[in-house]
Amino acid sequence: MKVKRREDEDNPSPGLSEAIVSAWRALGEPPVAERELLTIQQDVGETVSPASIARELAAAGAQLRHPEVIECDAAWRRAGWEREARRFKRLDDLVSEGPLTMKRAEELLAELDRLRQEFASTNDDEGLARLKEFAVSVQQRSQVRSKSGVEAARAEESEIVAWLKVWMQTPAIFSDWLELRKRSAEFRKRFHAD
């Protein structure tokens, strides 16, 4: 999956550029290495990459310790990727073992919705986009499985495809919709649910 960059990560706004340079000047305009980058990053926000900070400082005349700047930026990016992997681990675990059952699909959709709410509350558009991409990929796999295999498994996969479609279109009301769907006569008859 592609990693999208935030706008302020590589193209700081004029106000952010000024804040970076100002923070460096407050440190006494030292040569820039890992310690200085991390200190400035704490001042201006941790979504701004060390490399972006270093570029702004170089433009302001700062002396950069290039190997340390590169190592600091690489460590920051690696930590970000690891954080992302941990955030999505539960989702990966739920879909990694063959076809989804309706029980696991419900768990998956509950986790998708938990993450959706978390990302929405922190205005994490990148996380929301990744979440939607993940849901689309699960839906596509279920769609393929719904066209092959045993009749009962095909019916479950078709149902899961519909659930994912509803969740992607109207996530805020999905859990209520799912409860109503499971109570419907059609669902109970089709899946022998009581």
Domain edges within the chain: 7-79, 97-191
Q: Give residues with Cβ within 8 angstroms of 109, minimum separation 6.
A: 163, 164, 167, 174, 178
Q: What is the 3-state secondary structure (H, E, C) of 148-190?
A: CCCHHHHHHHHHHHHHHHHHHHCHHHHHHHHHHHHHCHHHHHH
| Residue 192 structure tokens | 């022998």
pTM for the full predicted model: 0.64
Q: What is the pLDDT of residues 124-153, one digit of tens each?
A: 888 899 899 999 999 998 888 888 777 778
Other Cβ atoms within 10 Å of 37 Cβ, number? 27
d(CA 109, CA 164): 8
pLDDT band at 71 (very low <50, low <70, confident <90, very high): very high
d(CA 126, CA 5): 8
Angle of helix 66-95 relative to helix 102-121, nearest 10 degrees?
140
